[in-house]
Amino acid sequence: MIFHNLALTASDQFLPTPIRALPTGEEKGRFLVLDLGGTNLRVAVVWLYGGDGLKVCTQGSWGIPEHLKSGAAEALFRWVVGRIGDVVGEYLGDVGSEERGRILSEGMELGVTFSFPMEYVLLSFFPFYF
């Protein structure tokens, strides 16, 4: 509720962010997670066990270069995709062929968070696959 009131009265803009589902806290399975902030990018592959159960399998954290913060969006997104590739590539190198095949054929669900205020727009048709 605090963000709702802030969004109504703040002079700063909230960026609309499409999401396809809200987390329940009981999710289980392997997920690719991404946290994009104003200064850092964090990417990880995690296993969720429902409730508070979590295992971080592979992760990376990078400072966002200044030229990408003020340059073309395409350059920033190419850099982000490269960092995702780094983390997923490391994970794929650590798992067996069955898990690797499953990821390559089915993809991974992606959880995204932004380290600045966002307005979330729930979409029912917006699949995320790597």
Residue 44's beta-bridge partner residues? 33, 59
Contacts of 129 (CB under 8 A, 6+ apart): 106, 107, 108, 109, 110
The domain segmentation of the chain, as residue ranges, is 23-113
The whole-chain average pLDDT of the chain stands at 81
State the fold for domain 23-113. Answer: Nucleotidyltransferase; domain 5 (3.30.420)
Kindly state the average pLDDT of the residues 25-54: 91
Write down the pLDDT at residue 46. 94
pLDDT in tens, 83-114: 999 999 999 999 999 999 999 999 998 888 87
Write down the pLDDT at residue 53. 87
Taking only Cα atoms into account, the Rg of the chain, rounded to an integer number of angstroms, comes to: 16
